[in-house]
Amino acid sequence: MDWEAFYNSFRTPDFIPGFEIENRLGGGAFGDVYKARRSSLGKAYAIKFLKVESDDQRAAVERELDQVRHLATIDHPNLVSIEDLGIVMGVPYIVMGFAGDETLAKRLRAGDLTAGEALRVFTQTSRGVRALHDRNMVHFDLKPSNVFLHGDAARVGDYGLSKLLDTGRMTLSIGRGTPMYMAPEILRSRADHRADVYSLGVIL
C-alpha cells in the first residue's frame, strides 16, 4: 500500500466522489476520521479511512463492509448514520453523518457529569446499542470516544465494522476492541452481544 501517494491525494476535490475532505477529527488503531463536506450541498459528514497493512487485512475488511451494507438503512436517533462506503486507492472508507466534535470522552475530561446527565447519556447510548442488537449486530468497540454528544442527544458511532452474528466466531479477523473496555471473551475470539453489555458497564 502506497500511503504516501494516498495522503498526497486524499484532500483533492472528488477524491471521494461528491465530497471535499477537510480537517482530521481523530483516529485510532483501525483508521483515521476526517470531516468532509458534500460538494453539492455543503453539508458536513465524517469519513473514516480504514488502516490496512496487508492483503489479508484488506480482504477481511472488504468482507465485513460487504456484510454490513444494510447498516446504511438504519435510522435511529441514538446511532450515527452510515451514508456510504467504498474503496479508494486500495483504502476502504465509510461515510458517516457528522455528529459533531464533542464526545463523551472529551466531556468527561472537562469534568464530572451530574447524575442526571450521566443517566441521560447512558440511557441513550444503551438505546443505540439495543438498536444494533435488534438487528443481530454487535459493536465490539464501545468506549466514551465512540459516543457523540450534541445538545441533549447521545449517539453511538464507529459501528461500521460491527459484526453480523451469523457464525460462532464473532470477532473480526483483524482484531477488534479497546483493552480497557473489552470483554475478556473477545480475546478468545468468541463473543456475542454480551460483550457490548460488558463495555456499557465499564462506561457507566
pLDDT tens per residue, range 37-95: 998 888 999 998 887 777 776 777 777 676 667 677 788 999 998 888 888 888 888 89
Determine the pLDDT at residue 161.
Answer: 64
pLDDT band at 172 (very low <50, low <70, confident <90, very high): very low
Whether the per-residue pLDDT at 181 is higher than 60: the answer is yes
Hunting for cell 465524517 — which residue is that?
46
What residue spans of 55-163 are helical by DSSP H?
Answer: 55-67, 104-110, 115-134
**Nearest-CA neighbor of 162 among 204, 202, 199?**
199
Strand-pair category, 82-88 with 91-97: antiparallel
Residue 57 grid cell: 487485512
Determine what percent of the chain is predicted with pLDDT higher than 90.
38
Whether the per-residue pLDDT at 166 is higher than 60: the answer is no
Mean pLDDT on 147-168: 76
| Residue 51 neighbours by CB distance under 10 Å | 18
Q: pLDDT averaged over the chain?
A: 83
Hunting for cell 438487528 — which residue is that?
135
Number of residues in the chain: 204
**Amino acid making up residue 65:** L
**Nearest-CA neighbor of 50 among 138, 158, 129, 183?**
158
pLDDT band at 143 (very low <50, low <70, confident <90, very high): very high
Torsion angle, alpha carbons of 152, 158, 160, 165, to 10: -90
pLDDT band at 170 (very low <50, low <70, confident <90, very high): very low
Burial of 32 (0-12, 13-18, 19+ CB in 10 A): middle
- pTM across the whole model: 0.81
Report how far Cα 161 is from the mean position of its chain's Cα atoms: 7
Beta bridge partners of 49: 32, 93
Q: Please, are residues 109 and 122 in contact by the beta-carbon 8 Å criterion?
A: no
Measured CA to CA, the distance from residue 44 to residue 136 in angstroms comes to 29
